[in-house]
């Protein structure tokens, strides 16, 4: 055990995390991605100094095992909250300083210290009970409590000395009992003597209207100064104008002095009791240090869990490479802002992988390009900082060694840097750092200079980052960057949808074709006259204008196609539901008809057997042996049994033939292969393919384009993984 009294396991954990901080992650990146705002939100959920310090120092980590452990701990506590299983409040005061004092030889803890230690012991006991039988559900939390154990020894020793109000009990020692009994006797004597003098001097008219007061915790008489020499005692003060003199009666002077001696005896005895209790508690110091480590860790986990609740966050599947596939991802700060304004937030689904590692997003201004880029960056930083993220739980996210950003206008007056100079300096730094494990987030890539010259330099930077195997999300209006991305095997274009009919952005990202900037459409929205817009078009190369029109028309057609596809899918599902209902109704009617036919046949058979039995009864002669009759009955029974067996055999053969025929004709839908991430289509001949988001026993949630729906498994056909 470390004998350093200032040793703090929780502080050591913070130091370890700092050593694992991501390289080249600066505060400018935190500001660009608004991660500093997320840290501030987390601070609001922290209660104790250690959690506050960790939130202030929060940075993304390089070591995946560290941040993945943080995620798993937070997820386990979030699961407990969602289950409603209950978990004790762990925001009690920290006991680190009390442990430090305990570690000092001959030190004495005060009443507050013992109260904190008792509360910590009670809380840890509650935590152990709450996690009982959760080894399989909460393995990470179970690991945290391995260094502590359930005990009442410390609690009982503190309760033996302190009462419910935190005061030292009179029966804490025999001597303290006698001291406090003497104190009670003296108080009664002092009060009795004071009231006697008060009554006597009041009757003589020597007292002021207030009659009495307190000075230095002593009860004194308020005597009119004109009569002060008539009252025997000790003058302890006067009123501001000197008209009243405060006098302690002579009889009480000696009694109060005796009371002070008894109070001092009480103080010394309480100190002796606390010293003894401190020595008794000191043997629990290793356990108390484990308490401190556990409780500050749980307080930190609880703060992150509450932030996850506020953001409706989840834990995605963790990949072991530099890639991600985030499904229905939200920018948490944008969601909170939109909720206040009663506005809708559009989620994004974005992927980067080794085969498609650089995404170039184009489209209109204010169309959501920057938000999509910031969402990717912020969620990746949050994840590698040990925070759950607002994505679909079937998302998958990996790890990057560096996250580099160039977002917004960051001109510096102090260093006399323009926006473009700032960006060039930042890009120079990126080129020194970027490698195959870097994620770059570049907003409005290449802007700030002459469009042609700046675009050419931006294209060179783009090619250089591509050669370094870096991952990137880039937003741009430059056509040469879009076309260059289309030529590169591991780069892809994407565009933000724009509704040309309503002239409104749709804030949805489409992967594939580049997007038009809709420069003239946006100008029209903002009230620029058509005359000026046409004049502007006239100053451009007609081929460029036509190309931009073709791109915007293509995007418009794609939007229309997406709407038609969504509508058709809904109709297909509706028709499939109606068809299923009709099929069930027809099956029910056929079963009912078959049942009625079977009943009729059975009734006819029963009627025939009844007639045959009546014939046998009529032939029966009570006076003879009826040998011939019995022979006829036996023959009849044998024939009926043969018919029944033949009917059963024929029925079984018919069923087998029908089953074989159905099996032979039934197409293979491979339902058993359908899992999360599978590509499927509807069985009824639908050509639209969708991605499976979730699967349960009988249904699957499928994303067809932008249309998300829950479909029964037997309506789907597996296509690919």
Mutual orientation of helices 285-311 and 64-83 as an angle, nearest 10°? 80
Q: How far apart are CA 124 and CA 144, in angstroms?
A: 11
Token pair for 708: 């998300």
Q: How far apart are CA 157 and CA 121, in angstroms?
A: 12
Q: How far apart are CA 390 and CA 123, in angstroms?
A: 31
pLDDT at 196 over 90: no
> How many beta carbons lie within 10 A of that of residue 676, not counting itself?
16
C-alpha triplet 348, 351, 352: angle, nearest 5°: 145
Higher pLDDT, 558 or 203: 203
Q: How far apart are CA 11 and CA 20, in angstroms?
A: 15
Q: Which of 286, 272, 236, 313 has the alpha carbon at shortest distance from 74?
A: 313
Q: Are 193 and 219 in contact (CB under 8 A)?
A: no
Least confident of 10-14, 221-225, 495-499: 10-14
Least confident of 508-517, 608-617, 632-641, 685-694: 508-517
pLDDT at 335: 93
Least confident of 35-39, 191-195, 471-475, 513-517: 513-517
pLDDT at 58 over 90: yes
pLDDT at 359: 93
The tokens 């941040």 sit on which residue? 67
pLDDT at 660: 65
Least confident of 28-32, 356-360, 443-447: 443-447
Residues 6+ apart with CB under 8 A from 95: 116, 117, 120, 288, 291, 292, 295
pLDDT at 551 over 80: no
Residues 6+ apart with CB under 8 A from 29: 35, 381, 403, 404, 405
Which fold, 171-272? MutS, DNA mismatch repair protein; Chain A, domain 3 (1.10.1420)
CATH 1.10.1420 fits 9-24+34-167+278-311, yes or no: yes
pLDDT at 121: 95
The tokens 């994407």 sit on which residue? 494
Q: Residues 336-346: what's their mean pLDDT?
A: 90
pLDDT at 540 over 60: no
Q: How far apart are CA 87 and CA 154, in angstroms?
A: 22
pLDDT at 707: 64
What are 78-113's pLDDT values in tens digits? 999 998 888 888 878 899 999 999 999 889 999 999
Least confident of 38-47, 99-108, 116-125, 583-592: 583-592
> How many beta carbons lie within 10 A of that of residue 544, not counting itself?
11
Taking only Cα atoms into account, the Rg of the chain, rounded to an integer number of angstroms, comes to: 43
Q: Are 566 and 688 in contact (CB under 8 A)?
A: no
| Per-domain boundaries in the chain | 9-24+34-167+278-311, 171-272, 317-516, 561-648, 668-721
Q: How far apart are CA 446 and CA 12, in angstroms?
A: 44
pLDDT at 399 over 80: yes
pLDDT at 10: 43
The tokens 């274009």 sit on which residue? 493
Token pair for 282: 């000191």
Same fold, 9-24+34-167+278-311 and 171-272: yes
Q: Are strands 504-512 and 491-499 parallel, antiparallel or unpaired?
A: antiparallel
pLDDT at 543 over 70: no
Least confident of 229-243, 258-272, 345-359: 229-243
pLDDT at 332 over 90: yes
pLDDT at 712: 84
> How many beta carbons lie within 10 A of that of residue 139, not counting itself?
11
- What percent of the chain is predicted at pLDDT more than 70? 82
Residues 6+ apart with CB under 8 A from 553: none
Q: Are 551 and 514 in contact (CB under 8 A)?
A: yes
Query: What is the CATH code of the structural domain delimited by 317-516?
Result: 3.40.50.300
pLDDT at 415: 43
Which fold, 668-721? SH3 type barrels. (2.30.30)
Q: Are 67 and 385 in contact (CB under 8 A)?
A: yes
Q: Which of 350, 276, 315 has the alpha carbon at shortest distance from 106?
A: 276
pLDDT at 633 over 90: no
Q: How far apart are CA 454 and CA 446, in angstroms?
A: 6
Q: Are strands 396-397 and 317-318 parallel, antiparallel or unpaired?
A: parallel
Q: Are 478 and 445 in contact (CB under 8 A)?
A: yes
- Three-class SS state of 421: helix
Least confident of 169-178, 336-345, 575-584, 661-670: 661-670
Q: Residues 564-590: what's their mean pLDDT?
A: 73
Mean pLDDT of the chain: 82
Residue 144 binned pLDDT confidence (cut-offs 50, 70, 90): very high
What are 469-519's pLDDT values in tens digits? 999 999 888 878 888 888 888 998 888 876 656 556 677 787 766 655 556
pLDDT at 648 over 70: yes
CA distances from 215 to 199, 227, 236, 714 (A): 20, 19, 7, 90
pLDDT at 291: 95
| β-sheet with 317-318: strand ranges across | 317-318, 396-397, 324-329, 348-352
pLDDT at 684: 66
pLDDT at 626: 77
pLDDT at 557: 60
pLDDT at 123 over 80: yes
Token pair for 545: 């204008």
Higher pLDDT, 111 or 222: 111
Q: Are 50 and 94 in contact (CB under 8 A)?
A: yes
CA distances from 100 to 108, 148, 286 (A): 11, 19, 11
Q: Tell me how long the chain is.
A: 721
Residue 2 binned pLDDT confidence (cut-offs 50, 70, 90): very low
Q: How far apart are CA 190 and CA 195, in angstroms?
A: 9
Q: How far apart are CA 507 and CA 497, in angstroms?
A: 6
Q: Residues 431-450: what's their mean pLDDT?
A: 83
Q: Which region holds residue 166: left if phi is over 0, alpha if psi is between -120 and 50, else beta?
A: left
Say which DSSP state 457 is in.
H
pLDDT at 504: 65
Residue 377 binned pLDDT confidence (cut-offs 50, 70, 90): very high
Higher pLDDT, 210 or 117: 117
The tokens 């040469």 sit on which residue? 480
pLDDT at 232: 79
What are 654-698's pLDDT values in tens digits? 777 766 665 554 456 677 888 887 888 887 656 677 888 888 888
Q: Which of 162, 84, 171 has the alpha carbon at shortest distance from 119?
A: 162
> How many beta carbons lie within 10 A of that of residue 312, not counting itself?
12
pLDDT at 162: 94
**Range with top average pLDDT, 224-228, 378-382, 692-696:** 378-382
């Amino acid at each position: 055990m470390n004998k350093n009294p200032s040793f703090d396991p929780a502080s050591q954990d913070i130091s370890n995390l700092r050593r694992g901080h991501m390289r080249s992650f600066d505060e400018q990146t935190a500001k660009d991605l608004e991660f500093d705002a997320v840290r501030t939100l987390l601070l609001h959920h922290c209660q104790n100094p250690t959690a506050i310090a960790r939130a202030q120092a929060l940075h993304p980590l390089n070591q995946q095992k560290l941040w993945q452990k943080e995620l798993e701990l937070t997820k386990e506590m979030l699961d407990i909250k969602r289950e409603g299983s209950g978990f004790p409040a762990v925001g009690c005061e920290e006991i680190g300083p009390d442990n430090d004092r305990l570690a000092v030889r001959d030190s004495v803890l005060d009443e507050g210290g013992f109260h904190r230690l008792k509360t910590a012991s009670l809380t840890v006991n509650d935590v152990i009970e709450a996690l009982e039988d959760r080894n399989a559900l909460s393995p990470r939390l179970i690991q945290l409590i391995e260094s502590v154990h359930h005990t009442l020894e410390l609690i009982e020793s503190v309760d033996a000395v302190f009462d419910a109000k935190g005061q030292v009990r009179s029966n804490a020692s025999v001597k303290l009992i006698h001291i406090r009994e003497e104190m009670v006797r003296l108080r009664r004597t002092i009060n009795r003597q004071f009231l006697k003098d008060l009554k006597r001097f009041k009757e003589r008219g020597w007292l002021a209207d207030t009659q009495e007061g307190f000075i230095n915790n002593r009860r004194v008489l308020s005597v009119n100064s004109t009569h002060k020499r008539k009252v025997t005692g000790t003058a302890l003060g006067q009123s501001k104008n000197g008209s009243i003199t405060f006098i302690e009666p002579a009889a009480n002077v000696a009694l109060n002095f005796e009371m002070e001696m008894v109070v001092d005896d009480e103080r010394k005895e309480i100190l002796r009791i606390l010293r003894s209790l401190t020595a008794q508690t000191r043997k629990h110091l290793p356990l108390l240090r484990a308490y401190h480590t556990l409780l500050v860790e749980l307080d930190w986990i609880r703060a992150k869990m509450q932030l996850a609740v506020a953001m409706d966050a989840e834990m995605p599947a963790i990949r072991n490479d530099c890639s991600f596939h985030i499904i229905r991802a939200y920018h948490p700060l944008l969601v909170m802002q939109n909720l206040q304004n009663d506005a809708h937030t559009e989620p994004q689904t974005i992927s980067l992988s080794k085969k498609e590692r650089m995404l170039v997003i184009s489209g209109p201004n204010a169309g959501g390009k920057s938000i999509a880029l910031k969402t990717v960056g912020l969620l990746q930083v949050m994840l590698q900082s040990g925070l759950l993220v607002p994505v679909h739980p079937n998302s998958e996210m990996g790890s990057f060694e560096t996250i580099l950003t160039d977002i917004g206008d960051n001109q510096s007056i102090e260093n006399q840097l323009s926006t473009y100079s700032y960006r060039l300096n930042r890009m120079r730094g990126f080129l020194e750092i970027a490698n195959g494990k870097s994620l770059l987030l570049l907003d409005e890539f290449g802007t700030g200079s002459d469009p042609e010259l700046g675009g050419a330099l931006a294209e060179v930077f783009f090619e250089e980052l591509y050669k370094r195997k870096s991952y990137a999300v880039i937003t741009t209006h430059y056509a040469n960057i879009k076309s260059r991305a289309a030529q590169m095997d591991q780069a892809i274009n994407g565009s933000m949808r724009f509704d040309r009919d309503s002239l409104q952005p749709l804030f949805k990202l489409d992967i594939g074709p580049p997007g038009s900037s809709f420069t003239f459409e946006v100008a029209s929205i903002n009230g620029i006259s058509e005359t000026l817009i046409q004049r502007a078009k006239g100053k451009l190369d007609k081929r460029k204008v036509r190309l931009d029109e073709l791109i915007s028309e293509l995007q418009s057609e794609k939007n229309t196609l997406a709407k038609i596809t969504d509508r058709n899918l809904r109709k297909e599902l509706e028709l499939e539901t109606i068809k299923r209902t009709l099929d069930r109704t027809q099956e029910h009617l056929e079963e009912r008809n078959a049942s009625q036919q079977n009943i009729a046949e059975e009734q006819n058979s029963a009627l025939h057997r009844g007639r045959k039995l009546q014939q046998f009864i009529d032939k029966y002669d009570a006076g003879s042996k009826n040998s011939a009759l019995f022979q006829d009955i036996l023959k009849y029974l044998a024939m009926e049994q043969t018919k029944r067996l033949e009917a059963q055999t024929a029925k079984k053969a018919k069923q087998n033939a029908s089953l074989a025929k159905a099996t032979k004709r039934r197409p293979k839908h491979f339902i058993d292969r359908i899992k999360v991430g599978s590509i499927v289509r509807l069985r009824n001949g639908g050509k639209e393919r969708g991605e499976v988001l979730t699967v349960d026993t009988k249904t699957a949630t499928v994303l067809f384009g932008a249309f998300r729906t829950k479909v029964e498994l037997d309506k789907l056909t597996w296509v690919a993984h």
